[in-house]
Chains A and B, each alone.
Chain A
Amino acid sequence: MDSKIENIMHQDSNGEITYNGHTFYILYPNSGKSIEELLGYTAILIHAVHSAFASFTIQRLRSYKDAKMYLKPIYFINPSIDSGGYINSLIDGSIFNVNQLNSIIPNIEEILIRTHQLKNTESATYEASIITKFLTLAYTRGRKQVDPIPYQFSGINYSYAGISCNFEHSEEQKVFSILDKAEKDGLIQGEFYDKTHYCNKCNHGALNYRSVCPKCSSSDSLTQDIVHHFPCGNVGPISDFQNEFDDNLNCPKCNKVLRHIGVDYDKPSVLHICRKCDHKFQDFDVKAKCLNCEFDNELEELIEKSIKRYTITNKGENATVFGYLPANREIEEIPGTIRYSLFSNLVSLEIERVRVVGSKNNLAMIYLHNTTELVTKIGEDRRRVLTKEVVNIIKKFLRPYDLITYKNPSLMVLTLYDISIENASLLLEEIVDLLKKLLTDNIKGYNVLIDSRIQPIDIHTTYKTQISELTVGFD
C-alpha cells in the first residue's frame, strides 16, 4: 500500500505535496510563507504538534478576507492534543501523517464542489462580507445549523465558526450585531441556546464569580454556626460554646453541657465573619470579577446576553449561493448621488438624446479597494460621513447636471458630460489624487488603493454594454 501511495504522491522538502491531482501544503511554525502564497494550494495541512500555533493559524486563515483562503479545506496534521470544539469546528478534520491523505480526499472534493457552486462571494459592506463568510463556510461544509461553541479564549464565552475569528477580543461583541442583522434579513433563524454575562466595563465574558463580604468585598471569611441553648435562651456563635479540652459544647450562660441537637439546643442559622474587615453577616454578596479588566461587577450590573444557535433559512441558502446583497439603504441615502437604477435610466436616455445632436459625453468609474478593511478601521458610521465628503469633493469637479451613483460601496460610477475625453481623463486623475490624499490623511495605517477608468459614451452602443465594459473586473 505504501508503495502505491509513493507512486502518486510527491513531497518536496518545502512541505509541498502533490497527491491525486491536488496540491497540499504542510504549514509548519516558522514556515515563512505569507497567506497570499498559500492561496494556490488545494488544501492546507497545519502541523499541529504545537496546539497554540495550530489554533492561532487556523483562526488566521479562516479570518482572511479572501474566500479563496477562508473556504479552503484545512486539516490538522499530527495534532498533539484535542484543541476543543471551537477550533475543531474551524478545521475540516485531522490526520496523523501524510499517509492518511487518502482518507480526506473525498471530503476535500466535496468541499471543492460546493465551493464551486457559489456564484458570488463578494460583498457590498463589511457586515455583509462577514455574513457571507459565515454562510459560505457552513454551506461548503454541508452544515445547515451553526451552534455557538463555548470557547475559553473567546471574549464573549461562545464562538461561532466563520464569525468569531474575524474579531479581536475587544471587538467580539460585534458578533452579536452581525448575527442580529443576518437574522433580521431572514438569512438565519435563531433559537435560544444559553445565557451569558459580560463585564459592565469592558464587555469581556471571563468572569470570576465569588461570595464576598458585603461591606469590603473580600472573599476571605470564616463561617460559624449559631447555637441556641433552649433552657436558658442563650444564643451565639458556636465558638462561644466550644472549649479547649474536649468536643463538648458548654453553655457560657448556664454552664450546662449541650446534650443533643434538636432536644436542648439547635443551630438556627450561620454567620460569616470577614477576615479582612471583621464584618459579621449572614448573606454573602456575589460579585463577578472581570478577568480581563479586574473590575468587580455587582451581579445586577453585568450585561446579560442570550446566545442563540442558528439555522440557515432557504433565503439564507439562496444568498449563500448567489451572493448576499444587503438592502442598499446606506448607499441611496448619500446626498448628491442617485440610485443606480435611476442612473442607468438617465444615462440611457441621454444616449438616445445625443444620438441626433451629437456630444462629448464620458462615463467613468472609481473603485476603492479593501473597503472592508476601511470599515474595520473607522467603523460604519465614520465611513458614511467620509463617503458624503468624497461625493461633495467630486461634485465640485463636475457640471451641475452630471450624475453620480454607487453601484456598490466600493464602486462609484459617474458621468462627465460635455467635455472632451482628454480633459475628462485629466479631471478624473485629479479627482483620484485628491481622494487618495483625503483617505490617507484621515485614516491612519490604511493602505489606499484606488482604480479608475474612463471611456467616452458611444452613441451607437447600449448603456448596458458600455457599463459592463467600463467596470469589468471591478463589479
Chain B
Amino acid sequence: MEKFFDEYLNFIVWLTPNRFLRIFWFFVIFELCRYVILDFFLLSLSRITRYLNRHKYEEARERFLFEQPFVSVIIPGKNEGKHIFKLVKSLQAQTYKNFETIVVDDGSDDDTPIIGRSMQRAGLISMFLRNDLRGGKASAANLALRFAKGKYIVHLDADCSFDYDAIEQILLPFYMDDRVGAVGGNVMVRNYKESLVTTLQALEYYDTISVGRVISSYLGIYRVISGAFGAFRSDVMDKIKGWDIGPGLDGDITVKVRKAGYSVKFAQKAVCLTSAPNTFRKLAKQRMRWDKSLVRFRMRKHKDVFYPNQAFNWSNFLSFFENILYGFVLNFKWIFYLIDMLYNHFSQVQFIILTNFVLYVLMNYFKFLVFSLFRERKNAPISYFLIYIPCMVIYFGYFLRLVRLFAHTKELLFKASYDDPWNPLKTSKHAKEMGL
C-alpha cells in the first residue's frame, strides 16, 4: 500500500502540464472545457441576457395574464389511473385556472377506466377517453390532441406533480417570442431519497438535464422536450399533425417543431416533479430506450437535417451535430482514449485511472456548487447530495456510458427499438417498414 502511494506520488510529480495534457486529454477537452468552462460561460451569458430582458419578461407575463388563453392539459397513458386523482388535485392548485384536462387511457388493464370515468362524472377532469385496444403513447396523445380545444397544449405524465405556478411558467415563453412553438418544463426527481439510483438521477437532472437545457435553450439547440412536462402551440401541432410513433417521441416532436420553423425553449421555472426509476435495472431499461432513439431519430428519421436544401437550418444542424457528437461519437471516443492509455501508458494505467477519478470528483463538486448559483428552485438541500457526488463519477463515467454504448450498437446493427414492447407490435411493424 505504502509502495503504491510512493509510486503514485512520483507519478504526480512527474506530471508536467504538457504530460498532464497528453495523458488527460480526454478529461481536459471533452469534460473540463465542454462541461465546465463552456457551460459556466454560457450559463452566465444566459443569466445576463435574462437580466437585460427582465422587462420583456414582465411584459410577456402581463400580456399572458390579460389574454388568459384557454389551455388543454392532455394526459395520455396506460395504467395510470392510480396517479390521476393526485395529479388533478395538483392541477387544481395551479395559479393558472383557464384550462381543460383530457385524460386518455391507452388500453389499461387495471382500474384506470373506472377511476377516469368517475372523475369525469365528478367534473374533476373535462374529458376521459379510453381506447380498449392499446395503440401506443403517440396515438393516445394524438387522440387527446384531436379533441383539445385550447390555444396551447400542455402534455403531462400522470405520475408527475407540479409547482403551483408551473403551467403559467411553461406558457410564458410563448409570450416572449412569437417564434416559440414549444416549451419544455424543468423536470426534477421527486423520489431522490428512495435509493442510491434515484439520488444519482436527481443529481443528474440538476446538472446535465436542467443546466444543460438552460444552455441549449439559450443557444437555440434545445433538443428534447420531456414527455413529463411540455407545452405546444395548438396551431403548430396542427401543422406537424401531432406525435409520430415512438419510442423517443419526445425528441421527435421537438425536432418536428424545429423543422416546421419554430424555436423551442426551456422554462427553468416551470418545475415538475417526477418519479425516477428506483433500480439500476429499470434505469438501464429507460436509458436504453432514450439512447436508441438518438440513433433512430437523429441519424435515421431526421437525417435530412444534415442535407443542405432539404430541411436545413443552422440551429437544427448545430443541435443535431452537438447531440450526435457528444451523445454518439464521443461515446465511442472514450474507447479510443482507453486504447491510447493502454497502448502508450500501460505501466501507469492504475495511476491514470485514480487521477481521472479524482479529477472527475473534483469537477463534479465544483460544478455542483457553482451551478447551484444558477438554480432558483431546489427540491432538496444541497448538503444532502454532497456525499453522493463521488458516486457520480461511476454513474456517469461507467454506468451511463456503458448503457449508451450498448444501446447505440444494438440500434445501429439491429434496429432494436422497433421491437420495444413499449409500443404495440401492430404500430412498430409499420414504423420499421417505413424506416421511421
Whole-angstrom CA separation of A268 from B120 in the bound complex: 20
| Chain B min CB distance to A249 (Å) | 15
* Contact in complex: A233, B132 (CB < 8 Å): no
A95 on the B face (CB < 8 A): no
Which A residues between 254 and 268 are near B, CB-CB below 8 angstroms? Answer: 254, 262, 264, 266-268
Query: Are the C-beta atoms of B426 and A266 separated by less than 8 Å?
Result: yes
Q: What distance in Å separates the Cβ of A133 from its nearest Cβ neighbour in chain B? A: 47
Q: Do A268 and B431 contact each other (CB < 8 Å), given the known contacts A233-B245, A235-B143?
A: no
Is the pair B427, A269 in contact by a Cβ cutoff of 8 Å? no
A269 touches B244 (CB 8 A): no
Chain B residues closer than 8 Å to A254, beta-carbon distance: 241
In whole angstroms, how far apart are the Cα atoms of A267 and B107 in the complex?
12
| Docked pose: A240 CA to B134 CA in angstroms | 20
| Cα distance A283–B136 in the bound complex, in angstroms | 22
| Complex Cα spacing A271 to B143, Å | 11
A449 within 8 A of B: no
Which residue of B132, B136, B143 has the most chain A CB atoms within 10 A of its CB atom? Answer: B143
B146 near A231 with CB under 8 A, answer: no
Mark A188-226 against chain B: 1 for CB-CB distance below 8 A, else 0.
000000000000000000000000001000000000001
In the bound complex, do residue A235 and residue B241 qualify as a contact, i.e. CB atoms below 8 Å apart?
Answer: no
Report chain B residues within 8 Å CB of A266. 133, 135, 426
Pick from A230, A236, A268: contact of B132, CB below 8 A: A268
Q: Can you name the residue of chain A whose Cβ is closest to the Cβ of B127?
A: A280
Question: How far apart are the CA atoms of A226 and B128 in the complex, in Å?
Answer: 14
The answer to whether the Cβ of B430 comes within 8 Å of any Cβ in the partner chain is yes
The distance in angstroms between the C-alpha atoms of A214 and B146, with both chains bound, is: 20
- Is A50 at the interface (CB under 8 A from chain B)? no
Assuming the A-B contacts A214-B121, A236-B143, are A228 and B430 also in contact, with contact meaning beta carbons closer than 8 angstroms in the complex?
no
Indicate if the CB atoms of B245 and A268 lie closer than 8 Å: no
Is B242's beta carbon under 8 Å from chain A?
Answer: yes
In the docked arrangement, what's the CA distance between A280 and B433, Å? 35
A269–B139 CB distance below 8 A: no
Judge whether B431 and A235 touch: CB under 8 Å. no
B147 and A230 form a contact (CB under 8 A): no
Closest B-chain residue to A252, C-beta based?
Answer: B241
Beta-carbon contact of B142 and A234 below 8 Å:
yes
Tell me if A232 and B132 are in contact (CB < 8 A): no
Query: Does chain B have a CB within 8 A of A355?
Result: no
Counting chain A CB atoms within 10 Å of each CB, which of B136, B242, B434 scores highest?
A: B242
Q: Which residues of A sit under 8 angstroms from B46, Cβ to Cβ? A: none
* B303 interface residue (CB < 8 Å to A): no
Interface string of B156-191 (1 = CB under 8 A from A): 000000000000000000000000000000000000
- Hey, which chain B residues are within 8 Å of A447, CB to CB? none
13 contacts between A and B (CB under 8 A): A214-B121, A230-B135, A233-B142, A233-B244, A234-B139, A235-B135, A235-B139, A235-B142, A236-B143, A253-B241, A268-B131, A269-B131, A283-B117
**Is the CB–CB distance between A282 and B130 below 8 Å?**
yes
Cβ-based interface call for B225 (8 A) = no
**Mask of B92-116 contacts with A, CB within 8 angstroms, 1/0:** 0000000000000001000000000
B interface residue count range (under 10 / 10 to 19 / 20 to 34 / 35 or more): 20 to 34
Contacts of A282 in B (CB 8 A): 128-130
**Given the known A-B contacts A234-B241, A264-B430, A283-B117, are A228 and B131 also in contact in the complex, defined by CB atoms under 8 Å?**
yes
B243 within 8 A of A: yes
**Nearest B-chain residue to A267, judged by Cβ:** B133
What 0/1 pattern do residues 261 to 287 of A give for CB contact below 8 A with B?
A: 010101111010000000011110000
Docked pose: A16 CA to B147 CA in angstroms: 77
A215 CB to closest chain B CB (Å) equals 10
Contacts A214-B121, A282-B130 given; does A234 touch B430 at CB 8 Å: no
Distance, CA A262 to CA B426, complexed state (A): 8
Residues of B77-98 at the interface with A, using a CB-CB cut-off of 8 Å, are none
* Residues of the B chain whose Cβ atoms lie less than 8 Å from the Cβ of A214: 120-121
Given contacts A214-B121, A233-B138, A235-B143, 8 further A-B contacts (CB under 8 A): A214-B120, A230-B245, A231-B427, A231-B436, A234-B142, A262-B426, A268-B134, A269-B130
Contact residues in B for A268 (Cβ distance below 8 Å): 107, 131-135, 139
Interface size class of A (residues with CB under 8 A): 20 to 34
B127 touches A233 (CB 8 A): no
**A271 to B104 CA separation, bound complex (whole angstroms):** 13
Closest B residue to A285 by CB, please name it.
Answer: B121
Q: How far is the CB of B250 from chain A (nearest CB, A)?
A: 14
Q: Measured between alpha carbons, how far is A232 from B143 in the docked complex, in Å?
A: 13
Encode B401-436 as 1/0 by CB contact (under 8 A) with A: 000000000000000000000000011011101101
Chain A residue at minimal CB-CB distance from B121: A214
How many Å lie between the Cα of A267 and that of B135 in the bound state? 10
Residues in A whose Cβ lies below 8 Å from that of B130: 269, 282
Are B242 and A253 interface neighbours, CB within 8 A? yes
Q: A253-B242, A268-B107, A269-B129 are in contact. Are A233 and B136 (CB under 8 A)?
A: yes
Q: Are A233 and B131 in contact (CB under 8 A)?
A: no
Closest to B143 in A: A235
Write out the residue numbers on chain B whose beta carbons fall within 8 Å of the beta carbon of A264. 430
Residues of B within 8 A of A271 (CB): 129
Contacting residues of chain B (202-246) with chain A, CB-CB under 8 angstroms: 241-245
Please tell me which one of the listed residues B117, B132, B147 contacts residue A269 in the complex, with CB atoms under 8 A apart: B132
- Give A241 to B147 CA distance when docked, in angstroms: 15
> CA of A252 to CA of B142 in the docked complex: distance in angstroms?
13
**A310 to B142 CA separation, bound complex (whole angstroms):** 59
A226 touches B241 (CB 8 A): no
In the complex, which residues of chain B have a beta carbon less than 8 angstroms from the beta carbon of A253? 241-242
Would you give the shortest CB distance from B258 to chain A, in whole angstroms? Answer: 19
Chain B residues with Cβ below 8 Å from A230 are 135, 245, 426-427, 429-430
**Could you say which residues of chain B place their CB within 8 Å of the CB of A269?**
129-133
B23-55 residues with Cβ-Cβ distance < 8 A to A are: none
Give the most central of A232, A240, A267, A280: most B CB within 10 Å. A232
Q: What residue of chain A has the Cβ atom nearest to residue B144's Cβ?
A: A235
CB-CB under 8 A from A236, the residues of chain B are 142-143, 146
* Min CB–CB distance B317 → chain A (angstroms): 26
Q: Which residues of B contact A226 (CB under 8 A)?
A: 131, 143
Task: Please judge, given known A-B contacts A268-B133, A268-B135, A282-B129, whether A232 and B244 are in contact too, CB under 8 Å.
Answer: yes
Assess whether A231 is in contact with B147, with CB atoms less than 8 Å apart.
Answer: no
Nearest chain A CB to B124's CB is how many angstroms away? Answer: 13
Nearest residue, chain A, Cβ from B434: A231
Q: Is the CB of A233 within 8 A of B426?
A: no
Q: A214-B121, A268-B107 are in contact. Are A234 and B242 (CB under 8 A)?
A: yes
Whether the pair A231, B131 counts as a contact (CB closer than 8 A) is no
Give the docked Cα–Cα distance between A240 and B147 (Å): 12
User: Chain B residue with minimal CB distance to A231?
Assistant: B430
- Give the CA-CA distance A236 to B242 in the complex, in Å: 11
**Could you say which of A231, A237, A254, A271 has the most chain B C-beta atoms within 10 Å of its C-beta?**
A231
Closest B residue, CB atoms, query A232: B244
For B146, the chain A residues whose CB sits under 8 A away are 235-237, 240
Asked whether B121 lies within 8 Å of A233 as measured between CB atoms, the reply is no
Residue numbers in B under 8 Å from A231 (CB-CB): 245, 427, 430-431, 433-434, 436
Q: Roughly how many angstroms separate A352 CA and B4 CA in the complex, as a whole number?
A: 132
In the complex, how many angstroms separate the beta carbon of B330 from the nearest chain A beta carbon? 32
The chain B residue with its CB closest to the CB of A263 is: B426
B127 contacts which chain A residues (CB < 8 A)?
280-281
Digitize A1-19: 1 where CB-to-B-CB distance is under 8 Å, 0 elsewhere. Answer: 0000000000000000000
